[in-house]
């Protein structure tokens, strides 16, 4: 990506990041950049290290080497709650909703550092099904409704960078299309997004820029449309 006056400012910069669990190296010297207003996709197969990267960015995975810069400040050793307070917010793999709480109580937890009232109404306008289900237990929602709840809860935390970990996981094809339409809408309204996804075709359709992660290392990066047409991506992920 060109570094000139016309380029958007960098929001997140990852430099030579190494994450290791015991003797297993999950990430090997990762360099990654997300600029203000972008939707950046990180794609790859299961076990490539995608979720480990998001966990490291959220302060939930051990970092052996490297640096994370966010809004011009190094946050490599910041605790998780401080990152959330400054707008680095993750929607976890598997949605991680609290199933024994109501839908509305789940949303309230997302806004614990923010004002709640009027933002809740905005969330209900974006996700009308959540308004209908507000008093129901979150565990009784369908998979697609739970994913909407997880995204709505994250948006109530007022993210500057929204990180989505495998939002299509375990969902039916029609519901996947609905979830990706929501992500597209959120991005079009100005949200900067880092999307981790094994559904490579859908992720590249949405993204401005993309990275391919294999066995803990970045093997390709570039404009998403260029990667969509790359022979290696076509052969490995798009069935061509």
Q: Is residue 146 part of a domain?
A: no
Whether the Cβ atoms of residue 120 and residue 155 lie closer than 8 Å to each other: no
Residue 54 exposed, middle or buried by CB count within 10 Å (0-12, 13-18, 19+): buried
Q: Report DSSP state, residue 101.
A: S
pLDDT band at 6 (very low <50, low <70, confident <90, very high): low
pLDDT at 190: 94
Residue 123 to residue 151: CA distance in whole angstroms: 10
Q: For the domain that residue 188 is a member of, what is the CATH number?
A: 3.40.50.300
Mean pLDDT, the chain, rounded, equals 90
If one counts the domains in the chain, the total is 1
Q: Is residue 106 part of a domain?
A: no
Q: Is residue 17 part of a domain?
A: yes
Region 114-142: mean pLDDT is: 86
Q: Is residue 152 part of a domain?
A: no
Range of the domain at 31: 10-95+158-172+181-237
pLDDT band at 1 (very low <50, low <70, confident <90, very high): very low
Q: Is residue 102 part of a domain?
A: no
Q: Is residue 138 part of a domain?
A: no
Residue 73 reports pLDDT greater than 80: yes
Residue 119 reports pLDDT greater than 70: yes
Place of tokens 């480990």: 52
pLDDT at 30: 96
- Kind and range of the H or E run holding 42: strand 39-43
Q: What is the sign, positive or negative, of the torsion defined by CA atoms of 46, 182, 160, 123?
A: negative
Q: Is residue 32 part of a domain?
A: yes
CA distances from 138 to 103, 109, 116, 168 (A): 5, 13, 19, 18
Task: Residue 143: name the closest of 167, 162, 111 by CA.
Answer: 167
Whether the Cβ atoms of residue 35 and residue 10 lie closer than 8 Å to each other: yes
Residue 2 reports pLDDT greater than 70: no
Region 185-202: mean pLDDT is: 94
Whether the Cβ atoms of residue 143 and residue 175 lie closer than 8 Å to each other: yes
Region 47-74: mean pLDDT is: 95
Q: Is residue 61 part of a domain?
A: yes
What's the full length of the chain, in residues?
240
Q: Which range (115-119, 143-147, 166-170) has the least confidence?
A: 115-119
Share of the chain above pLDDT 90, in %: 75
Whether the Cβ atoms of residue 69 and residue 27 lie closer than 8 Å to each other: no
pTM of the model: 0.91
Cα-based angle 89, 165, 35 (whole degrees, multiple of 5) = 60
């Amino acid at each position: 990506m060109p570094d000139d006056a016309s380029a958007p400012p960098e929001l997140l910069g990852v430099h030579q990041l190494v994450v290791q669990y015991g003797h297993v190296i999950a990430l090997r010297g990762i360099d990654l950049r997300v600029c203000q207003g972008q939707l950046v996709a990180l794609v790859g197969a299961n076990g490539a290290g995608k979720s480990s990267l998001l966990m490291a960015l959220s302060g939930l995975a051990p970092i052996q080497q490297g640096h994370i810069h966010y809004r011009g400040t190094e946050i490599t050793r910041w605790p998780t709650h401080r990152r959330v307070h400054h707008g680095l917010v993750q929607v976890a793999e598997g949605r991680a909703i609290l199933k024994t709480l109501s839908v509305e109580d789940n949303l309230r937890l997302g806004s614990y550092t923010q004002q709640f009232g009027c933002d809740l109404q905005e969330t209900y306008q974006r996700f009308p099904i959540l308004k209908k289900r507000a008093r129901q237990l979150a565990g009784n929602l369908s998979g697609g409704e739970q994913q909407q709840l997880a995204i709505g809860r994250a948006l109530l935390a007022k993210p500057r960078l929204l990180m989505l970990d495998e939002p299509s996981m375990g969902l039916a094809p029609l519901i996947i299309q609905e979830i990706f339409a929501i992500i597209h809408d959120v991005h079009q309204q100005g949200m900067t997004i880092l999307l981790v996804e094994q559904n490579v075709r859908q992720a590249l359709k949405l993204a401005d820029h993309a990275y391919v992660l294999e066995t803990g290392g970045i093997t390709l990066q570039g404009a998403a449309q260029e990667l969509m047409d790359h022979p290696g991506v076509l052969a490995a992920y798009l069935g061509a």
